[in-house]
Structure 1
């Protein structure tokens, strides 16, 4: 934090008096000189006070006046040039004027949202193709994701829904962490995405996606972690709670968006179990993926590209998380 020092105080006045008049000679001239000396001395002292740069002189008075003006005009030390409600370091001010964090059913809870893919992945093929350990084997660090036929990228969709979801959850009092906000050129890798949720000690983690299968395949589905144990992967403690999280999200998502469970997998339940996703295998926190629809189907794509529908999608996911966490 930067602090602006106020002007230094003037130096202390010297304790030494001006040279005293010399009275050693015993003569009438000395007596006369002695009579005149106090008057001269007083005049000399007045001149010194009026002209010297020391305390009380013009420089000192000017300095004091400037300091007084500055103290009235300038904000308190440490907050000079700061924007209202923001400290010099850029963090939110802790003053009483700052808005308090909203209280709600998720107060004290942490939710990690993982926007699938990254719009920059298309330009970083060699980086995202790097193999990483997912416990049961090795897999690409990340993938590009899919697009609609008109070119709307899955990574754009997932980030938009994730931000809407964050807003909805924060309004319920949750602490929300996003694994990224397209603030990096590519990635993060799937193992890092899992690690972010683990290190945040998240009460729930949701990875947001959209599918890219052939036209005619419609609807959403939620992917749950399978029972996996191998290498760094051990899902034994999260399989049960992850299923509950997934069921809550599926029910609320269908009700809020009006979308039906996928017609091409999951037997109409909207729930699918997989053991080949590093983001699930390496998680130690309850976690699911949601594929919100099929970007390659024209009817689903019309929904996915609609801001109003994306808002409903975020609300449905949020309601599922609130239900899972007991809100």
Structure 2
């Protein structure tokens, strides 16, 4: 997701540059831990508002905030770990299996919606995020070859849901196939997690920054108390959730922490995102990589890698939900 700058570009001629991941996992984990020590020493993630800019586009709506007049979907379609695009029919809610997370509720928010670019009037309308007003939602970004962020996030959400349900959690998605063709708006996405009384919530994204900018980062809520927004009670637990996800994501995927945000720690704190500002439950965003970088794009478009990403996020969430 690119928060500032140009929006979703229409598919461009395919570039078949698929660079293999060359960073050894053994080197990444110590680096991430060192970055975290630096983060703790200075007392925070990247500077507030240090957003990135996607590649130029023409005339499509701005990138992301969630929106819609729909209610949460408690769906249980089980994704495979193949290289598919994650399209699976929506199923009726099913009872959570027994497991260590039985009784826990998780809300997964797949960033954007594939139909957003066809509903510019709806997603461009302003909604109140407490500190100010922002667009209801945005189109998201894409790889240079045209693989949309919205397709990536939905596939990843399906994979993550299956893993968490296997641990016994009740999992709800903010939207899924068969639902509204756009949105939901950012304020509605937050309300879905709140209404579910989620024990944890996560919004899934991929970035649209400049080529050469690589890596993932987790966005945590800053302290906000303005209008309808009051994050003071969730800042601490959201930080804990973010820390656990970062460590597990590095280990499972081998993807390095962002080299362009967060000072190499993998952590960024923001107070301008409606999905975080309006949440009353512990919640973070994760930008799993940069779709405009050829090396990251090769990973993000791989079903096998998306399964690793789902596993890393799941293990971080399980660790958080099982804490005493």
Q: Partners of 2:307 and 2:275 in 1: how far apart? A: 25
1:110 equivalent in alignment to 2:113 = no
1:136 equivalent in alignment to 2:131 = yes
**Cα distance change on mapping 1:101 and 1:129 into 2, 3 Å:** closer
Matches within 5 A, 1:225-244: 225-244=221-240
Partner of residue 179, structure 1: 174
Partner of residue 326, structure 1: 322
Q: Partners of 1:101 and 1:244 in 2: how far apart? A: 25
1:160 equivalent in alignment to 2:155 = yes
Q: TM-score, normalised to structure 2's length? A: 0.70
Matches within 5 A, 1:286-301: 286-301=282-297
Q: Partners of 1:322 and 1:103 in 2: how far apart? A: 14
Partner of residue 192, structure 1: 188
Q: Partners of 1:108 and 1:101 in 2: how far apart? A: 8
Matches within 5 A, 1:1-12: none
**Cα distance change on mapping 1:151 and 1:241 into 2, 3 Å:** same
- SS of the equivalent of 2:232 reads coil
Of residues 245, 253, 256 in structure 1, which corresponds to 2:252?
Answer: 256
1:102: how far off? 2.1
- SS of the equivalent of 2:99 reads coil
Q: Partners of 2:233 and 2:176 in 1: how far apart? A: 29
Matches within 5 A, 1:277-316: 277-316=273-312
**Cα distance change on mapping 1:130 and 1:296 into 2, 3 Å:** same
Q: TM-score, normalised to structure 1's length? A: 0.69
- SS of the equivalent of 1:237 reads coil
Q: Partners of 2:211 and 2:140 in 1: how far apart? A: 17
1:128: how far off? 0.2
1:103: how far off? 1.4
Rg larger for: 1
**Cα distance change on mapping 1:190 and 1:91 into 2, 3 Å:** closer
Partner of residue 87, structure 2: none
Q: Partners of 2:180 and 2:298 in 1: how far apart? A: 29
Q: Partners of 2:229 and 2:107 in 1: how far apart? A: 19
Deviations 1:7-39 (A, max 9, x none): xxxxxxxxxxxxxxxxxxxxxxxxxxxxxxxxx
Q: Partners of 2:92 and 2:223 in 1: how far apart? A: 42
**Cα distance change on mapping 1:114 and 1:264 into 2, 3 Å:** same
- Any gaps of 5 or more consecutive residues in structure 1? 1-89, 93-98
1:127: how far off? 0.5
- Any gaps of 5 or more consecutive residues in structure 2? 1-90
RMSD, matched Cα: 1.4
1:326: how far off? 1.3
Q: Partners of 2:230 and 2:126 in 1: how far apart? A: 20
Partner of residue 23, structure 2: none
Q: Whose relative contact order is higher, 1 or 2, with alpha carbons under 8 Å and at least 6 apart? A: 2
Deviations 1:165-192 (A, max 9, x none): 0000000000000000142110000000
